Structure 1
Amino acid sequence: MDHEKVNILLVDDQPAKLLAYEVILKDLGQNLVIASSGREALEVLLKTEIAVILVDVCMPELDGFELAAMIREHPRFQKTAMIFISAIQVSDIDRLRGYEMGAVDYVPVPVVPEVLRAKVKVFAELYRKTRELERLNQDLEDRVRARTAELENSTAKLRESEERRSMAIAAGKMGSWDWDWITGDWMWDEGQYRIFGVGPESFEVNPANVQALLHPDDVDQLRKAIAEFNKGTRSYETEFRIVRPDGDVRWCVGTAAATVDDSGRVMRVSGVTVDITERKRAEERQTLLAREVDHRAKNALALAQSIVRLTRADEVKAYVSAVEGRINALARVHTILSLSSWQGAELSKLIDEELAPYSLGGQIKLAGSEVQLLPATAQTLALALHELFTNSAKYGALSTRTGRLAIGWQVEDELLTLTWEESGGPLVMTPKSRGFGTRSLLASVESQLGGQARSDWRAEGLLCRLEVPLVRKTAATTAPGNFEAASSAELQRASG
C-alpha cells in the first residue's frame, strides 16, 4: 500500500510552466496528470481519482479561484487538496479568498523546487494514508457485515427448515415417528396420523394396527425392515402403500434409523414418512402419455405411408403435389389435436385450416355450431375435406372468381351431417371414373367412421353430403393400433 502511486493534477495555461512542474515533481514517483485549462481540468477530475491539484491562479477564461469554487461544489472533490501557484504578490485578502475557495496552501513564483516537492509530497502522503485508512475501515465493515450476514443466514435457514417441516406436516405430506425397541411403545406426530388417515383419539399405534393399514402386497416390507435392524443395519429406506380406513390407497416412502447402546443393541428406531402419491400418479400419467405419443405417432406414420404408397398420378410433379397436399392436411389436423392433448378437435378449426392456403374473399360461406370430434374422426374428416377443397380448386367452384361454396353442418342424435354445395363454377359433368382422392374419401368415411358419403354431380356444381356418427359403434374401431391398420386397408381398397 505504501508504494501505491497517486494522481497529481497540474493545471496551467502555459506549457513551459507545466513542463517545469513535471521536472520538479518527477522525483516523487507519482502519476502526473496535465491540464492546460480549467475546463480540461474539470474533465480530468470527472474521469480520474486525483490526490492533489496544483493550479495556477491566473488563467484566461476560468481562473484558479473560479476553478476551485467549481471543484468544491462537487461532492466527490470537497476534500481534495488544492495548492495555488501565484506569480503576483499575494495579499492576506487574496490568501483568505483562496482558502475560502478550498485551497490548502499557496506557492509563490518563482517556485522553489524543494518547497513545492515538500508541500505536494505531504498532501500526497496524506491522501494515501487516508485512502488506506478508508480501505481498512471498509474491510472491517465488510467483515462485520459478512459475520452478521452469516448469523442471519444461519438463523434464517433454521427458521426456514422449521417452517418447511411445519408446512409439510400441515399439508399431510410428511410425518415422523419413534419406536421404543425395548418397550414396544410408539409415538406418532400429527403428520403421521394424517398420512395414515386416522386420529390419535381412535387409533392405537402398535405393530398389529399399523400392519392392518399396510397394503397386503407390502406387508413384507415391515417384516424385512425389522429383520434388517436385528441383523445390525443402522438405517433403512423403502417405498410402500397404505390403505386408509376410507379405502384410499396412498404411496409413501419411509426412512428409518436405529439408535444403539454401547454393545450395539438396538434401543429405538426413529423415522420419517413422506406421502409420494402425487409423484407416483404423475409418473403414471407420464408413462401413459409416452405410450399415447407412441401410439399417435404410429397412426400418423401409417397414414402417411399409405398416402405415399397409394397416391396415383401421370406425372412426377402431380404426384409430388398430391402427396404433399395430403401430408400437409394430416400435419394440420395433428397440430390441432396436439394443442388439445389429443382430446379432440373442433370441426370449424379443421375447415379453417383447409381454407388457409386459399385467398377466396367472400366465395365461401360457413354455417354450423361448434362440434367436437374424436381424434380418429378428425383425422379422417380432415383428409376428406382436403380432397374436396383440392378438387374444387382444380375443377369446381373454387377454380373461378364467380364460383361459390356453401359448407353447412348440424348434429342430431350424435350424427353429424355435413353438406358441401358448390355453385357458379364451370359446368359439371358426372365423372366416368373416380380418382384416388374421391374413392379414399368415400372409403374412409363409410368404412372407418361407419358413416355415409353421397355425391350429386349437378350441372351447376357438386353437392356432397357426409353423415358421420360422433360416437364410435364398435370396440374394434377404437382399440389402440386398429386405426392405422384400418386406414391403410381402406386406402388400399380405395386405390384398387
Structure 2
Amino acid sequence: MDHEKVNILLVDDQPAKLLAYEVILKELGENLVIASSGREALEVLLKTEIAVILVDVCMPELDGFELAAMIREHPRFQKTAMIFISAIQVSDIDRLRGYEMGAVDYVPVPVVPEVLRAKIKVFAELYRKTRELERLNRELEDRVRARTAELENSTTKLRESEQRRSMAIAAGKMGSWDWDWISGDWMWDEGQYRIFGVSPDSFAVNPANVQALLHPDDVEQLRKAVAEFNKGTRAYETEFRILRPDGEVRWCVGTAAATVDDSSRVVRVSGVTVDITERKRAEERQNLLAREVDHRAKNALALAQSIVRLTRADEVKAYVNAVEGRINALARVHTILSLSSWQGAELSRLIDEELAPYSLGGQIVLAGPEVQLMPTTAQTLALALHELFTNSAKYGALSTRSGRLAIGWQVEDELLTLNWDETGGPLVMPPKSRGFGTRSLLASVESQLGGQAQFNWRAEGLLCRLEVPLTRKAAATAPGKFDAASAAELQRASG
C-alpha cells in the first residue's frame, strides 16, 4: 500500500553498525537518516521531522541515555519514539533509567533483523496514523474558524446596518420597538410580536408583561441597561434570552438608541430586536463537534497504543499479525460507526465484518434480532469478537472444514446475551492458563462494559457466553443476574 515515507534516525558512532542497520531496515521503504554521534543527531532533529530514533547506548562524549534526556527536554520531541540498542548486558536499573529518559524499547546485540524491522514498523505506522489524525483535526479547525469568521462578519454587517438605523425588518427574524420615555407608552411592530411569540390582539405591551417574557437570568442586565440612559448613555446593545408563552427559549440581540430634547433629557428610546437563536445553536454544534473529534482522535490513539504495548507473541510474525489483526478490527468498527455519524452500530454488522476474511461455506449459523450498540460498546465488543474468531480459526471449529459455529443472541431488560457454540472441530483441551486473547476479552467485557464472560472448554468445542449491558442502568444491575453457581462455573471454565 502506497503511503508517505517517514524519517527514521539511526545513531551510532561505528560506521559498520550503521551500515548493518541500513541493510536491515531498507526493505521497510522508509527514509533512513544517519548520525554518527549524539551531537550530530541533535542537529538532524532540529532540521528534520523524525518518526523513530534508533540509538546506541554506548557512545563517546554523549551516550544514549544523555542523548535521550536532551531530546526529551525539547517540546517537539517529547513523544518521539526511541529504541535503544545495547551490545552489553543491560541491568534492570539501566532499563528503568532508559525508560525514564523516554525509551520505548530495547534491542540487544547481536540484532535479530526480523525483530528490529517489526519494532520499527509498528512505531513508524503509529507515527503515520498520528500525523493523519492531526491533519484531519487541523482541517476541521480551519472549517470551524472559517464558519466563525463568516458569523462574525455577518454580525458586523448587522451592527453597521443597525447603526445606520435601517428599519428594514426581515420577516420573523427582526422586530422594532419604540418607548415613549415621558408617557411610558410602548409600540411594537409585527416582527417584535412574532419574536416574543405573542399576539397583538391579546398581549398588552407594558413593563410588567414584557418582563414576564424575559429569561429570569437576564432581567437584571436589562434593568441596568435602562438605568444607563438616565446616566447619559445614548446607545446600548446586548444579548438576552426570552421565554415564550409556549416554553421555548430564544436568543436575541437588542440594540437601543435614545432621543433627547434641547436640555439633553431622554424623551424616547427606540430599538431593534434580532432573533439569533439559529446562530447560537450553530455555534454550540460547532463547539461540540470540535470537542467530539478531539475526543475520538485521542481515544483511537490510546486504543492503538494499548494494542501495541499489550500484545504478546513468541515469534515476530505472530506478533505483527496479532497487532495488525486487532488494529484492523478496530478500524472496521470505526468505519461502521462513521457511516452512522457515530450514533451506533448493528451487532449483526459487526459479526459480518469479522466473518469477511474467512471463506467458510456454511459453517456458521447466526440467529438473533437487530441490536443497536452504543459506540463505546460496539468498539469493545468488536475486539472481543475478533479474539473469538481468531482463536477459533487457529485452534477451534473454524480451523477445519468439519467444524461448525453457532452464534445466537437476544436482549432482555437492556441486557445483551450472546452465545458462542463451537462443535465438530479438533478435540479441545482446557487451557492451563489464560492467554492474552482470553484475558483481554474478559477485561474488555467485564471491566469496560460491566458485563460477564463465561467459558466452557468442552471436548467437542468451546462454549462461550457473553452478557453485555446495553445501557448504564443495565450495567449497574447486571452483576445481580449471576448466582453463585454461575460464578463457580466461570471460575472452573476459565482456570
Bucket of the pairwise TM-score, normalised by the shorter protein:
0.5 to 0.7
Q: 1:163 to 1:345 in 2, by over 3 A?
A: farther
CA drift at 1:174: 2.2
CA drift at 1:218: 2.0
Q: Whose Rg is larger?
A: 1
After superposition, the C-alpha distances for 1:331-363 in whole angstroms (9 at most, x for unaligned) are 222332333343322100111121222233433
More displaced, 404-413 or 78-87?
78-87
Contact 1:440–1:491 (Cα < 8 Å) also in 2: no
Structure 1 CA distance, aligned partners of 2:147 and 2:108? Answer: 53
Contact 1:440–1:494 (Cα < 8 Å) also in 2: no
Structure 1 CA distance, aligned partners of 2:112 and 2:309? Answer: 104
After superposition, the C-alpha distances for 1:115-157 in whole angstroms (9 at most, x for unaligned) are 9999999999999999999999999999999999999999999
CA drift at 1:382: 0.8
After superposition, the C-alpha distances for 1:287-342 in whole angstroms (9 at most, x for unaligned) are 34444444444443333333222211122332222122112212222332333343
Structure 1 CA distance, aligned partners of 2:434 and 2:126? Answer: 103
Q: 1:234 to 1:482 in 2, by over 3 A?
A: farther
CA drift at 1:273: 1.0
The aligned counterpart of 1:402 is 402
Contact 2:57–2:63 (Cα < 8 Å) also in 1: yes
Q: How does 1:94-133 map to 2 (within 5 A)?
A: none
Contact 2:253–2:275 (Cα < 8 Å) also in 1: yes
Q: 1:198 to 1:4 in 2, by over 3 A?
A: closer
Q: 1:217 to 1:315 in 2, by over 3 A?
A: same
More displaced, 453-462 or 97-106?
97-106
Structure 2 CA distance, aligned partners of 1:218 and 1:188? Answer: 20
More displaced, 30-39 or 428-437?
30-39
Structure 2 CA distance, aligned partners of 1:111 and 1:315? Answer: 15
Contact 1:347–1:373 (Cα < 8 Å) also in 2: yes
More displaced, 192-201 or 7-16?
7-16
Q: 1:219 to 1:395 in 2, by over 3 A?
A: same
SS in 2 for 1:166: coil
Structure 1 CA distance, aligned partners of 2:160 and 2:493? Answer: 69
Contact 1:177–1:192 (Cα < 8 Å) also in 2: yes
After superposition, the C-alpha distances for 1:410-437 in whole angstroms (9 at most, x for unaligned) are 2234332212223343333322222101
More displaced, 42-51 or 102-111?
102-111
After superposition, the C-alpha distances for 1:19-74 in whole angstroms (9 at most, x for unaligned) are 99999999999999999999999999999999999999999999999999999999
Q: 1:155 to 1:231 in 2, by over 3 A?
A: closer
Contact 2:405–2:420 (Cα < 8 Å) also in 1: yes
Contact 2:65–2:98 (Cα < 8 Å) also in 1: yes
Structure 1 CA distance, aligned partners of 2:391 and 2:115? Answer: 105
Contact 2:85–2:106 (Cα < 8 Å) also in 1: yes
Contact 2:420–2:465 (Cα < 8 Å) also in 1: yes
CA drift at 1:178: 1.7
SS in 2 for 1:169: coil
Q: 1:131 to 1:403 in 2, by over 3 A?
A: closer
SS in 2 for 1:293: helix
SS in 2 for 1:177: strand
Contact 1:477–1:483 (Cα < 8 Å) also in 2: no
Contact 2:137–2:294 (Cα < 8 Å) also in 1: no
The aligned counterpart of 1:222 is 222
How many residues in Structure 1 have an aligned counterpart in Structure 2? 495
SS in 1 for 2:420: strand
Q: 1:295 to 1:68 in 2, by over 3 A?
A: closer
More displaced, 291-300 or 377-386?
291-300
Contact 1:436–1:494 (Cα < 8 Å) also in 2: no
Contact 1:374–1:470 (Cα < 8 Å) also in 2: yes
Contact 2:455–2:493 (Cα < 8 Å) also in 1: no
Contact 2:415–2:478 (Cα < 8 Å) also in 1: no
CA drift at 1:383: 0.9
With structure 2 as the length reference, what TM-score do the two structures score? 0.57
SS in 2 for 1:394: helix
Provide the identity percentage: 92
Contact 2:451–2:478 (Cα < 8 Å) also in 1: no
SS in 2 for 1:312: coil
Q: 1:189 to 1:13 in 2, by over 3 A?
A: same
Structure 1 CA distance, aligned partners of 2:41 and 2:404? Answer: 82
Contact 2:82–2:102 (Cα < 8 Å) also in 1: yes
Q: How does 1:301-316 map to 2 (within 5 A)?
A: 301-316=301-316
Structure 2 CA distance, aligned partners of 1:206 and 1:142? Answer: 47
Contact 2:449–2:475 (Cα < 8 Å) also in 1: no
Q: 1:359 to 1:133 in 2, by over 3 A?
A: closer
Q: 1:404 to 1:168 in 2, by over 3 A?
A: farther
Q: 1:484 to 1:387 in 2, by over 3 A?
A: farther
Structure 2 CA distance, aligned partners of 1:206 and 1:76? Answer: 63
Q: 1:202 to 1:319 in 2, by over 3 A?
A: same
Structure 2 CA distance, aligned partners of 1:93 and 1:456? Answer: 43
Q: 1:269 to 1:49 in 2, by over 3 A?
A: closer
More displaced, 11-20 or 302-311?
11-20
Q: 1:409 to 1:261 in 2, by over 3 A?
A: same
After superposition, the C-alpha distances for 1:69-113 in whole angstroms (9 at most, x for unaligned) are 999999999999999999999999999999999999999999999
Q: 1:482 to 1:250 in 2, by over 3 A?
A: farther
The aligned counterpart of 1:277 is 277
Contact 1:447–1:490 (Cα < 8 Å) also in 2: no
List runs of 5+ in structure 2 lacking aligned partners: none
Q: 1:12 to 1:311 in 2, by over 3 A?
A: closer
With structure 1 as the length reference, what TM-score do the two structures score? 0.57
More displaced, 340-349 or 12-21?
12-21
After superposition, the C-alpha distances for 1:439-494 in whole angstroms (9 at most, x for unaligned) are 22123223333333222333333222222233334x99899999999999999999
Contact 1:252–1:273 (Cα < 8 Å) also in 2: yes
After superposition, the C-alpha distances for 1:387-411 in whole angstroms (9 at most, x for unaligned) are 0111122222323344332222222
More displaced, 340-349 or 155-164?
155-164
The aligned counterpart of 1:178 is 178
Contact 2:345–2:375 (Cα < 8 Å) also in 1: yes
